């Protein structure tokens, strides 16, 4: 079971990595409308580029479930599946 | 043959363009090589859609030669221009140059596009030069539909400003409000759907009400609406009842809100039910896609542009993509956030298409903040995906701020609204 899970995670990661070289995964490009790049200006909103992948996944899942309150992220996270969240998180973690 | 001189004009023009870009980018040799060989994408219109798309194209594939056609040296942003109207901000905070866009290696053609030949794949510029493209992205924003409202033409807009394209019109409305005596009547007329920034007329009404309440408290504001429903309506109306009772009156279509004609000389707005003579009249008129969209043959009878929801390619002309306010984007509203979100999806699709690939199915997001007072923000958000040839809401996602949120949440959303503006303008222009 553990091996299957590891393989599944690896395949998601590989899929995400191969996407990263071309198009961002579905939904990922929109995030930077609110989330600033670290280099550009100040914002109370968290920058995403280079952030830990697991941290992004947990934040999205918690916003989606209601475990974490948000202003708009609770409404936005509900629009994404687990697989999409995994891919988005992997892509942002790989960005600089 | 007309082809040869046209090609010469194009080359001469490109030389001029590339020199400008090179000076800004200080990356001459690489850029020159790229322009000799890479796929050519022309982006027309340098607003949130066009500037974001040009940048995202370069980011997606630095081999793509990107030319941004934009006549204005300075972009004046509409989001937060309602705050300028009531003196909370200065217009300069809305303005951005294209210096940083050019520094990304994007050639800026400081002129307008006057014609598009979709068969030959070339754009004609105002100076007669032609730009050949492999893919064209039109991001022309809106034009006012002059004549759609009897009595409202460009001369009338000098008396009854629309202030729906930010700049001098924004300042004109501000001066009129500042000059008005206390006790005056301000009238806003809001158009039928679709139009740029669906919550915009109601944010404007809110902030003008705030201005009147604090500076000219004997005055009154009437909103004449060609609709019976509008964006974030319950949140706006609850806030109006709390903050501006007796000062702000909204008149829906069913109660005679539809303005059928105006008389600029007397600042009179005529409805089916009567006349309103205003001291300050803000007419937000019917709109359509920016003119080049019609010239290029990508508008339908509605005056807007039907697009493929995966690539934003026109359903009417191959090789031409339309993004931002000009596009018919299904459930997505005509907002700066949506324009920026569409721009990045379109750029990724175009980069894939010019490389011979198949674009993947996207998801898009919109978030729109409105201020009902300087420290009172509300929002609407949505997630969208292609469904049945349209961009549709992802079920279960999105929606507006909670109606029972405490005041701290409203305050936080006002702060987040401004942070959003800083971030999106930095991504597009900074």
The pLDDT tens digits of the residues spanning B190-210 come to: 999 999 999 999 999 999 999
Q: How far is A3 from chain B (nearest CA, A)?
A: 30
Strand order in the sheet with B248-251: B248-251, B220-225, B185-190, B280-283
Pair B145, B288: CB distance under 8 Å = yes
B262 vs B253: CA distance, rounded Å: 16
Q: Is A81 on the interface with B (CB under 8 A)?
A: no
Strands B268-271 and B259-263: antiparallel
A64 vs A55: CA distance, rounded Å: 14
Share of chain B above pLDDT 70, in %: 92
Q: Global pTM?
A: 0.90
Query: Does B430 sit within 8 Å of A26, measured CB to CB?
Result: no
B239-296 pLDDT tens trace: 999 999 999 999 999 999 999 999 999 999 999 999 999 999 999 999 999 999 999 9
Q: How far is B47 from chain A (nearest CA, A)?
A: 14
Tokens of residue B354, six digits: 């010019």
pLDDT of res. A40: 60
State which residue of chain B sits closest to A79, comparing Cα positions. Answer: B397
Beta strands in B234-375 (DSSP E): 248-251, 259-263, 268-271, 274-277, 280-283, 287-289, 305-306, 320-322, 327-328, 364-373
Is B354's pLDDT higher than 50?
A: yes
Query: Does B398 sit within 8 Å of A78, measured CB to CB?
Result: yes
Find the mean pLDDT for residues B145-155: 97
Query: Does B362 sit within 8 Å of A35, measured CB to CB?
Result: no
Q: Is B360 on the interface with A (CB under 8 A)?
A: yes
- A25 φ/ψ angles, rounded to the nearest 5 degrees: -65, 160
Question: Of the candidates A31, A41, A79, which has its C-beta nearest B394's C-beta?
Answer: A79
State which residue of chain B sits closest to A39, comparing Cα positions. Answer: B426
Q: Which of A34, A77, A88 to mutate to test the interface with B (most CBs of B within 10 A)?
A: A34
A56-88 pLDDT tens trace: 999 999 999 999 999 999 999 999 999 999 999
Question: Of the candidates A26, A41, A71, which has its C-beta nearest B426's C-beta?
Answer: A41
Pick from B366, B198, B247, B356: which is nearest to A27 by CA?
Answer: B366
Question: Of the candidates A19, A43, A72, which has its C-beta nearest B381's C-beta?
Answer: A72
The alpha helices in B64-185, defined as continuous H runs, are: 81-85, 99-103, 154-157, 168-179
Angle at B269 between CA B267 and CA B275, to 5 degrees: 110
B71-108 pLDDT tens trace: 999 999 999 999 999 999 999 999 999 999 999 999 99
State which residue of chain A sits closest to B414, comparing Cα positions. Answer: A71
Q: How confident is the model at residue B36 (pLDDT cuts 50, 70, 90)?
A: low
């Amino acid at each position: 079971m553990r091996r299957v899970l590891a393989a599944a995670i690896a395949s998601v990661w590989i899929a995400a990595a191969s996407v990263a070289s071309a198009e961002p995964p579905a939904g990922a490009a929109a995030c930077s409308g609110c989330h600033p790049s670290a280099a550009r200006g100040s914002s109370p909103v968290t920058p995403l580029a280079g952030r830990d992948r697991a941290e992004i996944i947990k934040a999205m899942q918690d916003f989606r479930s209601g475990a974490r309150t948000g202003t708009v992220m609770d409404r936005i996270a509900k629009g994404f599946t687990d697989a999409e969240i995994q891919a988005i998180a992997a892509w942002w973690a790989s960005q600089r | 043959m007309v082809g040869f001189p046209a090609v010469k004009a194009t080359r001469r023009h490109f030389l001029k363009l590339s020199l400008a870009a090179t000076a800004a980018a200080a990356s001459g040799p690489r850029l020159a090589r790229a322009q000799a060989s890479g796929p050519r994408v022309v982006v027309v219109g340098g607003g949130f859609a066009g500037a974001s798309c040009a940048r995202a194209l370069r980011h997606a594939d630095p081999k793509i030669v990107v030319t941004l056609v934009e006549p204005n040296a300075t972009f004046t942003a509409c989001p937060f221009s309602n705050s300028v109207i009531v003196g909370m901000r200065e217009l300069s905070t809305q303005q951005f140059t294209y210096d940083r866009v050019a520094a990304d290696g994007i050639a800026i053609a400081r002129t307008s596009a006057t014609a598009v030949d979709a068969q030959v794949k070339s754009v004609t510029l105002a100076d007669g030069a032609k730009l050949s493209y492999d893919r064209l992205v039109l991001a022309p924003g809106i034009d006012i539909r002059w004549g759609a409202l009897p009595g409202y033409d460009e001369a009338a807009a000098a008396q009854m400003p629309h202030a729906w394209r930010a700049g001098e019109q924004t300042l004109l409305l501000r001066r009129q409000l500042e000059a008005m005596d206390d006790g005056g009547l301000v009238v806003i007329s809001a158009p039928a759907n679709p139009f740029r920034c669906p919550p915009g007329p109601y944010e404007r009404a809110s902030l003008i009400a705030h201005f009147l309440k604090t500076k000219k408290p004997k005055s009154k504001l009437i909103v004449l609406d060609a609709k019976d429903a509008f964006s974030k309506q319950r949140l706006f109306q609850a806030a109006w009842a709390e903050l501006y009772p007796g000062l702000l009156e909204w008149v829906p279509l069913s109660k005679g809100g539809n303005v059928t004609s105006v008389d600029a000389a007397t600042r009179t707005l005529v409805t089916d039910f009567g006349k309103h003579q205003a001291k300050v009249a803000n007419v937000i008129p019917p709109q359509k896609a920016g003119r080049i969209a019609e010239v290029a043959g990508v508008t339908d009878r509605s005056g807007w542009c039907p697009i493929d929801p995966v690539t934003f390619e026109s359903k009417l002309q191959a090789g031409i993509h339309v993004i931002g306010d000009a596009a018919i984007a299904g459930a997505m509203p005509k907002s700066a956030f949506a324009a920026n979100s569409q721009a990045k999806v379109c750029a990724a699709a175009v980069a894939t298409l010019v490389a011979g690939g198949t674009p993947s199915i996207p998801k898009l997001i919109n978030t729109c903040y409105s201020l009902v007072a300087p420290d009172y923000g509300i929002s609407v958000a949505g997630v969208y995906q292609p469904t049945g040839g349209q961009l549709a809401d992802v079920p279960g996602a999105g929606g507006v701020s909670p109606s029972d949120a405490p005041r701290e949440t409203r305050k936080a959303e006002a702060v987040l609204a401004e942070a959003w503006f800083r971030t999106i303008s930095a991504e597009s222009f900074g």
